[in-house]
Amino acid sequence: MTEFCKNISGALCACSVFLFGNDPTNLKWLYAFLVLMALDLLLGTLEAIKNKAFKRQQLLEGLYRKVSMLMLVVVAQTIDSIHLIGETHILQRGVTGYLIGYEALSIMSHISIAGVPIPALLKNAIQNYLNKSGGEIQK
């Protein structure tokens, strides 16, 4: 089992370097997004279990949504890598930054449902960032 985990983690690292280059800034954005995605999925699952509303179909829909979000980042990175916009990675960072904000708000929603108070300043800052990015929060 340990060898399997090593192989999977190695393959994921190789894919991330292939897709996002070896630029440490790009990889930091990707890792932050992946961590927030995992936390959101975990908190959503725990919330459903707590409310006795866990359904495998909802979990699969959530996983589908997360994979689709990751594919959106891959599309943005691909467009950046062929330099349609220029030499910068502005599209990939913009898409990833927006999705990081989306995941952060979703995590805060799960946390507030659990009864933990969320500072209004933090929630408003993320909401303002998403509004300036031209997106709406959809759940």
* Domain range for 59: 2-132
Q: Among residues of the chain, what percentage have pLDDT more than 90?
A: 8
- Mean pLDDT throughout 60-83? 85
- Is 21 part of a structural domain of the chain? yes
- Mean pLDDT throughout 116-131? 81
- Is 138 part of a structural domain of the chain? no
Residue written as token pair 């990751």: 70
The answer, yes or no, to whether residue 11 has pLDDT greater than 70, is: no
Q: At 29, is the secondary structure helix, strand, or coil? A: helix
Higher pLDDT, 128 or 52: 52
- Is 71 part of a structural domain of the chain? yes
- Is 65 part of a structural domain of the chain? yes
Domain total in the chain: 1
- Is 139 part of a structural domain of the chain? no
CA–CA dist 78, 100 (Å, integer): 19
